A and B are shown apart, each in its own frame.
Chain A
Amino acid sequence: MQKRRFGLILLELFAILLLALFLFPFLMVVMNAAKPQAEIILTPLSLPQNWINLWHNIIEILTRRNIDYFKSFFNSVVITTSSLLAIGVFSAMAAWVLVRTKTKYSFWIFMLFLAGMVIPFQVVMLPLVRLLQLLYNATGIPFKDTYYGVVLAYIGFGAPLSIFLFHGFIKSIPTDIEEAAIIDGCTKAQVFFKIVLPILKPIFVTLLVLNGMWIWNDYLLPVLVIGLGGSTKTLPLAVANLAGFYDKQWGLILTSVLMAALPVLILFFFAQKHIIKGMTSGAIK
């Protein structure tokens, strides 16, 4: 017993050490975001002499034209939330009719969505950019560098996984409730929005987390559809833009990194359970 407890203490120490190692990069960011350029070059590993510099750097980031922090943050929020809602509701609708309609059409459409899951973005990205331009030439509606263009693209790319997860979940819901509602005089659309959608809440949350992490942090799709200097640029694009312009201005780059990561980290502290559960249960299915 004594030996076992000693072992546990050792493990505990080891875990603390590992945790420190994992959090070290975060510490580096915070520490160096609070230093002027000269101090970073001389002593990147020590604590900053004066924390007030962090404030100066933050102000600098907030007012810089090429990062446009407030605008980028707003863009990221708009794009992420509207994509999330659209993907969630539309995929749930599609999955529901695909499960409840037992024809060969619904089977093959579902198979098509599944096939879409294995297509990596790299294969579609070049023709996609071309297609957006062609669509603009043909219809005069700009899809590049607009909110709806990005959101539509995210619906297309997010639909396969979301429909797959919804499909699995809906299959396990008994049809009795829906039939009862039909008898009580609901139309089919009402059945979905009033009865099925509330039942889907757990899987909906999972998908919010899974898609949310993807869309908020995504770089490749925005850089193609919006462009680094676009007017609807998201936070990752803004950071890349700043780092590309002011090469080696580490104080500012790290401050912008901190400010790009902070919203997600804050959200994580409040909704830790949901986020971890959402990301892992989504993967296992």
Chain B
Amino acid sequence: MQETKKNLGKYVKTIIKYLVLTIISLIIVITLPVIFVVQKIGRLMNKSFMTFKNYKRTNFVLDFVVYEWLGPFEKAQNHRVFVYFLFPSLGAFLLFVITPFVQGVYLSFTDWDGLNTGRESFVGLDNYRVIFSETRFLFSFWRTIVYSILNILVINVVAFAMALLVTQNLKGKNVYRAGFFMPNLIGGLVLGYIWQFIYNKAITSLGGVFATSILIGGQSALYGLLIVVTWQYAGYIMMIYIAAIQNIPQDLVEAATIDGANALQRLKTITFPLVAQAFTVAMFLTLVTSFKQFDTVVSLTQGGPSLVLPEWFGSLLGLENLPVVQSTNLVAINIYNTAFSSYELGIGQSKAIVFFAFLLIISLIQVYFNKKKEVEL
């Protein structure tokens, strides 16, 4: 009995000691920049100010402060460098990414309705209930999925074909590479204006079948966007494939040629398996960028044009009257408009959280399945 009581006392003492030291560490970490400045100024007047050169052991708190943090010892020096070096990037990251993220999760459960009012109150899962019964949002999610699948397929096929083309023994292959890559240098917003002009003014001036712009039709507007994004992004993805194709050992290809494999067989049995890793990367990149598509849509279509909700989608939701929805209103646009046009920031934020969760799951699944197909060389 006596023994356990003594042990317990020891544990409590250790825990308290540990807690005190942790709190002191935290305080020092936070005030380290201040301490640093004080030290520097102090040393101008007195050379040995706060150097702790002749420090004698007193109590455990002061010992800790000197030996672990402020003294001229290697351990303390390492600790200080660790904090100083991490401070700028970790500080900015915590302040501008993690804090808003955590706040955002909370705000998605509130009726937040004005950017800076600070009067929001907790409403539980109401926002999520609202967004899952909002036809426009569900349709916009569906459009994003359709768009992303098409985008991933088209961009990767085009990019891979272009990569095969410019790794042939062509005369101007460097010129082609640079040319195909060039659209990627220009921002999505600026590109959108260029193509809005081409679709609405240049092509329509041809007349005949081209008289109506591709951006006016409810279905075709999405294909219009697809063409723009392919034009922008294919060159970039092509570069990734080129790097992978050039890494294929040339003797493998030669051996296959001698064995009588034709171009198609070589493509299937050598090129495809060996660039599988590049497929993973390229598909991940295209997936993420098509889900987050924002700039180009803003300047190309502003989310429009309107179209009547497809009948099958309406019947899926059990709707009698089919509402009017927007054709290229992708999730990123939808979130932005919910927040800044209708000022339903709480609802916008919960849409963003759903979007985040969905994107996370999809990209994990994609990477998992692609990784399984990769071949180690």
Contact = CB atoms under 8 A, between A and B. Distances in A.
B194 interface: yes
A250 B202 CA distance: 11
A122 B354 CA distance: 11
What size tier do the contact residues of chain B reach?
35 or more
Contacts of B272: none
A243 B194 CA distance: 11
Interface residues of A, number: 91
B93 A284 contact: no
A162 B181 CA distance: 23
Interface in A77-124: 86-87, 90-91, 93-94, 96-98, 101, 106, 109, 112-113, 116, 118-124
A133 B115 contact: yes
B145 interface: no
B107 interface: yes
A218 B295 CA distance: 8
A33 B352 CA distance: 39
A119 B86 CA distance: 21
B212 interface: no
A123 B353 contact: yes
A127 B166 contact: no
A153 B169 contact: no
Contacts of B182: 22-23, 26, 265, 268
A177 interface: no
B181 A101 contact: no
A155 interface: yes
A250 B81 contact: no
Interface string B83-127: 011101110111111111101100100000001101000000000
B298 A152 contact: no
Interface stretch (A56-64, A65-73, A186-194): A186-194
Given A156-B96, A264-B186, A272-B178, A127 B103 contact: yes
Contacts of A281: 243
A183 to B, nearest CB: 12
A16 interface: yes
A86 B189 CA distance: 26
Interface in A132-166: 133-134, 137, 152-153, 155-157, 159-160, 163
Interface string A9-32: 001101110110011011011001
A33 B184 CA distance: 21
A274 B81 CA distance: 33
B168 interface: yes
A213 interface: yes
A131 interface: yes
Contact of B168 (A11, A45, A125, A130): A11
B115 A188 contact: no
B198 A155 contact: no
Nearest to B94: A156
A44 B162 contact: no
Nearest to A217: B187
A216 interface: yes
A159 B231 contact: no
B190 A122 contact: no
Interface stretch (B61-69, B132-140, B355-363, B368-376): B355-363
Given A219-B295, A220-B294, A284-B278, A122 B335 contact: yes
B190 A239 contact: yes
A246 B336 CA distance: 23
A87 B100 CA distance: 20
Contacts of B180: 18-19, 22
A22 B197 contact: no
A261 interface: yes
Interface string A169-187: 0000000000000000001
Nearest to B334: A122
A128 B100 contact: yes
Contacts of A160: 93, 97
Nearest to B335: A122
A279 interface: yes
Given A15-B172, A23-B179, A97-B82, A253 B197 contact: yes
B186 A44 contact: no
Interface string B232-250: 0001100110110000000
Given A15-B165, A90-B89, A94-B86, A280 B243 contact: yes
A8 interface: yes
B205 interface: yes
Interface string B167-199: 011111101111111111111111001110110
Contacts of B201: 40-41, 44, 250
B226 interface: no
A188 B115 CA distance: 45
Interface in B295-334: 295, 298-299, 331-332
Contact of A118 (B116, B355, B360): B360
Contacts of B94: 156
Nearest to A191: B81
25 contacts: A11-B170, A12-B170, A14-B165, A19-B176, A109-B86, A112-B98, A120-B292, A120-B356, A122-B292, A122-B335, A123-B101, A123-B353, A126-B352, A129-B115, A130-B103, A153-B92, A156-B93, A160-B97, A187-B77, A188-B78, A220-B294, A261-B190, A276-B239, A283-B240, A283-B281
Counting from the closest, the 9 A-B pairs by CB-CB distance are A217-B187, A156-B96, A127-B100, A156-B92, A155-B92, A93-B85, A90-B88, A124-B100, A133-B116
Interface of A: 8, 11-12, 14-16, 18-19, 22-23, 25-26, 28-29, 32, 40-41, 43-45, 86-87, 90-91, 93-94, 96-98, 101, 106, 109, 112-113, 116, 118-131, 133-134, 137, 152-153, 155-157, 159-160, 163, 187-189, 192, 213, 216-220, 236, 239-240, 243, 250, 253-254, 257, 260-261, 264-265, 268, 272, 275-276, 279-281, 283-284
